[in-house]
Amino acid sequence: MRFLSDHAGKVRLILAAGFVFALWSQRPPTADLRQRFRQMSEDAERKGLAQPFLGIHTSQGVEGGLFAISSTGVSTEPVRKAGDAFLAALTDEQRAKTTFPVDDPEWRKWMNQHFYIRQGVLFKEMSEAQREAAFGLMRASLSAKGLKLSRDIMRLNHTLGEMNNDNFVEYGEWLYWITIMGKPSKTEPWGWQLDGHHLIINYFVLGDQVVMTPSFFGSEPARADSGKYKGTVVLADAQNKGLTLVNALDGQQRKKAILDWKKAGANNLTEAFKDNVELDYAGIQASELTPAQREQLVALISEWVDNMDEGHARVKMDEVKKHLDRTWFAWIGETGEKAVFYYRIQSPVILIEFDHQPPINLRHLYPNVPYREHIHAVIRTPNGNDYGKDLLRQHYQRHPHSE
């Protein structure tokens, strides 16, 4: 019943947003429409932040002892320098509105929908030099693959504007915001957040440790068949590797892994303001897979983790492999070559959801059923370490901070 209630609420929110978007696309935004956007945003925040952060967990509660402050041996100095360079490139006014304390609730204020009123400095408002500094921060933090994925999602948001009669008020390549939490440091905790339509990255740093969750990658459309960025495609490998894995299962394994052959709508459970979701393991456990299937599962997880810089991705994958026997793979939907589907990978230290969703921003072009041109994917660290919060908690225990 919890799933049905949450899903219904999400649908109502999307429909309400769609109504506002329809109005806005017909004329320039008015003060009334801006106020409606702000009210919708505040309502989402009030509901989503009503409870203190706990972390995604099973019905058994949050599992402790999974994360420890330790040296990874992978330097974060390039990220720190890039963070300093980005802040130095901003004006005093921009810097003031984009910096928050490291433990600020602003970490949890992100949302995929583009009506959401965000904080920070907007790419569209940056000078070329400032924009390059922002990309410098992303370049230092992400792999080349992760940076390309992020930029292509931004480009496809421009394509979405083109497909909505050149509506670049709602959609566009530069409608993304950056905030900095804390102060870039070699020893003190800090981080940054990128927030916008179909692209959210939370990047926490403590010493040489990194936590890059929650992260959200998606797009509508998932490929540009025309326009300025014709030929741009995102998330095809993550889609295809998931399909390959489910089709590598034998009949008995598929009975366990496939929760439902019918996919009627959106299935993601841990998107915006779902930091404390109770979610039990489901599907098939990795301990029941063959060695070859386990390798495919690891490769699918790596497809997402490898968006981090190479060194920290390797550290994260070592952590994932330690808990591989306790990792579960679940599926909703069919398994044919052109199937639409949802998959979930869940372990004590990582949660990945991939979902083909119905059209929202292209409802005027496509039937209202899940399709491959609208993808949502979210990556989480369960058991209290999203946003690096468990590491931050331990840091404060060792080094109490006065008010």
What percent of the chain stands above pLDDT 70?
92
How far, in Å, are 43, 156, 244, 354 from residue 338 at the CA level? 38, 22, 12, 16
Contact between residue 59 and residue 280 where contact means Cβ atoms under 8 Å apart = yes
How high is the pLDDT of residue 23?
41
Which value, in Å, is the radius of gyration of the alpha carbons in the chain? 20
- Say whether 329 sits in a helix, a strand or coil: strand
Please give the span between the terminal C-alpha atoms of the chain, in angstroms, as a whole number. 42
Ranking 3-12, 77-86, 237-246, 255-264 by mean pLDDT, the lowest is: 3-12
**Taking all residues of the chain, what is their mean pLDDT, rounded to a whole number?**
93
How high is the pLDDT of residue 35?
85
Region 88-112 average pLDDT = 97
pLDDT digits (tens, 9 = 90+) for 178-223: 999 999 999 999 999 999 999 999 999 999 999 999 999 999 999 9
403 contact partners, CB below 8 Å, separation of at least 6: none
Rounded to whole angstroms, the Cα distance separating 127 from 61 reads: 47
pLDDT digits (tens, 9 = 90+) for 17-57: 444 444 444 444 567 777 888 898 999 999 999 999 999 99
Contact between residue 359 and residue 368 where contact means Cβ atoms under 8 Å apart = yes
How high is the pLDDT of residue 134?
98
How high is the pLDDT of residue 22?
42
How high is the pLDDT of residue 25?
41
What is 344-383 written as a DSSP string? EEE-SS-EEEEEE---STTTTTS-SS--TT-EEEEEE-TT
Strands (E), 133-267: 176-181, 190-196, 199-206, 209-211, 215-219, 258-260
- Provide the pairing of β-strand 121-122 with 176-181: antiparallel
Region 339-357 average pLDDT = 98
Rounded to whole angstroms, the Cα distance separating 198 from 193 reads: 14
Q: Is 281's pLDDT higher than 50?
A: yes
- Say whether 9 sits in a helix, a strand or coil: helix
Q: Is the dihedral of CA 216, 18, 278, 43 positive or negative?
A: positive
What element of type H or E holds 342? strand 341-346
- Say whether 330 sits in a helix, a strand or coil: strand
Residue 343: CB atoms within 10 Å: 27
What is 154-183 written as a DSSP string? HHHHHHHHHTTTS-TTT--TT-EEEEEES-
Region 268-275 average pLDDT = 98
Name 330's bridge partners.
344
Rounded to whole angstroms, the Cα distance separating 204 from 182 reads: 10
How high is the pLDDT of residue 30?
61
Q: CA angle, corner 270, sides to 372 and 115, nearest 5?
A: 70
Contact between residue 126 and residue 232 where contact means Cβ atoms under 8 Å apart = no
Taking the mean position of all CA atoms in its chain, how far away is CA 191?
16
Q: Higher pLDDT residue, 11 or 62?
A: 62
How high is the pLDDT of residue 6?
45
Rounded to whole angstroms, the Cα distance separating 105 from 170 reads: 26
How high is the pLDDT of residue 29?
55
pTM above 0.85, yes or no: yes
- Provide the pairing of β-strand 328-333 with 258-260: parallel
How big is the chain, counted in residues? Answer: 403
Region 259-265 average pLDDT = 97
Tokens 């386990």, located at residue: 294
pLDDT digits (tens, 9 = 90+) for 103-124: 999 999 999 998 899 999 999 9
Contact between residue 308 and residue 287 where contact means Cβ atoms under 8 Å apart = no
